Amino acid sequence: MKRDLGDLALFGGHASFLQQIHVGRPNRIERARFFDRLSWALDNQWLTNNGPLAREFEERVADLAGVRNCVATCNATVALQLLVHAAELTGEAIMPSLTFAATAHAVRWLGLEPVFCDIDPRTGGIDPAAVAAAVTPRTSGIFGVHLWGRPCDVDALEKLAADTGLRLFFDAAHAIGCTSQGRPLGSFGDAEVFSFHATKVVNAFEGGAIVTDDDDLADRIRSLANFGFNLRTPSPAGGTNAKMSEASAAMGLTSLDAFPEVARHNRDNYEQYRSELARVPGLSVIDIDPDERHNYQYVIVEIDEEITGLPRDLLVELLRAENVVAQRYFSPPCHQIEPYRSRQEVLHLPHTERLSARVVALPTGSMISREDIRRVCNIVRLAATRGSELTARWHQQSEGVVPAG
């Protein structure tokens, strides 16, 4: 355990971990089950194009989301694009800026303008009042994002969509297995999109899914994802190839089998982080409502530089020196990255900018042990309680006033 600043790898001490630990390491699965499924697919000689494993995966995801339809896709970004295209959105789509670039890029790729809104600082989710204020005659849709798996204000957004006649979708990339007022995320708005990327709590190597109770929308998306074949009303864009392969579905199913155990392990990790960092002034692990179901796939720590004296980016840097690969999810926010930054007049989203500059995602998942968390928290506690001194020493070292070590 590290006791003094000189013990930190940033200042010449040994790294706490011999090998890197990551946010987003794939979770443990029962490999024999995965290989059995893969072998079965090879024997079956049906490797993609709506195969039996992909259909089984769709059924299980639809059940989890509590909806009638699920269309599995090659990833969530393409799933979002399919949704925009199938719903015939045009002009502008309103969304939060505090999200992964994929939410905005998917819309932009199809020629729409993402219009970024501020968040509600209490939840980190898009602020329905800011959405209402951003509606223009060019707006055709709203995209909420269940950031880190925490639900948006779904009731207010559904009411706003009903009042304005706008289509409402949710980027639920982080939210498989989570609920809002006991109802599964995946079942709100016109449709929602999950991600099953390798870094997600349920993974299909690469994968995504659109879940919806709108049967016509689901049919149209299924056809568009398969080159537009059999569309009742042909699309001027034809169609695309967004299908999920049987190999991905084999992984997705095996990952779904492991999901309850992974979520339990993540919850224990989350609670350990919270208790180990509980009494550090200026640090907090973001709240997750204990009355809702949650997958706990991200442990997000908020750091207040004014109290700790430690800038967020220096915390990330010093953790990396210890072989702890923390992530700035999501910083900078979308309105401050290209192609959006230079497309619009200077946009100021104070709550988004504040939260985005303060968050760090710490490693969790089934490969992270109690001992790993104890060591990560030891570093974070030491850094945050001696933040001003550490920052000054880092500046001196960077300027060559004090040698490293």
Task: Please give the span between the terminal C-alpha atoms of the chain, in angstroms, as a whole number.
Answer: 17
Among 96, 138, 133, smallest CA distance to 113 is for: 138
Q: Which of 198, 321, 337, 357 binds ligand T4K (CB under 6 A)?
A: 198
CA distance 322 to 124: 29
387 counts as binding ligand T4K under rule CB under 6 A: no
Q: Which of 17, 34, 100, 259 binds ligand T4K (CB under 6 A)?
A: 100
Question: Which residue's CB is nearer to ligand T4K, number 69 or number 103?
Answer: 103
Q: Which stretch binds ligand T4K (CB under 6 A): 23-31, 35-43, 63-71, 82-90?
A: 23-31
Question: Which residue's CB is nearer to ligand T4K, number 308 or number 366?
Answer: 366
Give min distance, CB of 271 to ligand T4K, in A.
23
328 counts as binding ligand T4K under rule CB under 6 A: no
Give min distance, CB of 370 to ligand T4K, in A.
20
Q: Which of 197, 222, 312, 358 binds ligand T4K (CB under 6 A)?
A: 197
Both tokens of 83, joined, read 């949704």
Give min distance, CB of 207 to ligand T4K, in A.
7
192 counts as binding ligand T4K under rule CB under 6 A: no
Side-by-side strand order, sheet with 167-171: 69-73, 208-212, 191-195, 167-171, 139-145, 92-96, 113-117
Q: Which stretch binds ligand T4K (CB under 6 A): 18-26, 150-158, 256-264, 391-399?
A: 18-26
Find the residue with minimal CB distance to ligand T4K. Answer: 24
Give min distance, CB of 232 to ligand T4K, in A.
28
391 counts as binding ligand T4K under rule CB under 6 A: no
3-state SS assignment for residue 158: helix
145 counts as binding ligand T4K under rule CB under 6 A: yes
Q: What are phi and psi of 176, to 5 degrees?
A: -65, 135
Question: Which residue's CB is nearer to ligand T4K, number 124 or number 387?
Answer: 124
Q: Which of 171, 190, 305, 372 binds ligand T4K (CB under 6 A)?
A: 171
Q: How many residues does the chain have?
A: 405
Q: Which of 112, 152, 173, 280 binds ligand T4K (CB under 6 A)?
A: 173
Answer yes or no: are the C-beta atoms of 263 and 201 closer than 8 Å.
yes
Q: Which residues of 268-303 are buried (b: 16+ CB within 10 A; e: fewer)?
A: ebbebbbebbeebebbbbbebeeebebbbbbbbbbb
Q: Which of 116, 143, 329, 394 binds ligand T4K (CB under 6 A)?
A: 329
Q: Count of CB atoms within 10 A of residue 59's CB? A: 11
199 counts as binding ligand T4K under rule CB under 6 A: yes
Give min distance, CB of 119 to ligand T4K, in A.
13
Both tokens of 37, joined, read 């499924």
Give min distance, CB of 392 to ligand T4K, in A.
29
**Burial (0-12, 13-18, 19+ Cβ within 10 Å), 399:** exposed
Phi-psi region of 282 (alpha: psi -120 to 50; beta: other; left: phi over 0): left
239 counts as binding ligand T4K under rule CB under 6 A: no
Both tokens of 304, joined, read 């207040």
Q: Which of 23, 83, 201, 211 binds ligand T4K (CB under 6 A)?
A: 23
**Binding residues with ligand T4K: total (CB under 6 A):** 24
Q: According to DSSP H, which parts of 277-360 are helical?
A: 305-308, 312-321, 350-356
Among 104, 112, 92, smallest CA distance to 341 is for: 104
159 counts as binding ligand T4K under rule CB under 6 A: no
**Burial (0-12, 13-18, 19+ Cβ within 10 Å), 188:** buried
Query: Which residue type occupies 45?
Result: Q
Q: How many angstroms separate the Cα of 210 from the Cα of each of 54, 120, 153, 216, 242? A: 13, 26, 20, 13, 11
Restricted to residues 46-85, the positions that interact with ligand T4K (CB under 6 A) are 75-77
Question: Which residue's CB is nearer to ligand T4K, number 97 or number 195?
Answer: 195
Q: Which of 27, 81, 99, 179 binds ligand T4K (CB under 6 A)?
A: 99
Query: Which residues are at the interface with ligand T4K (CB under 6 A)?
Result: 22-26, 75-77, 99-100, 102-103, 145, 171, 173-174, 195, 197-199, 208, 325, 327, 329
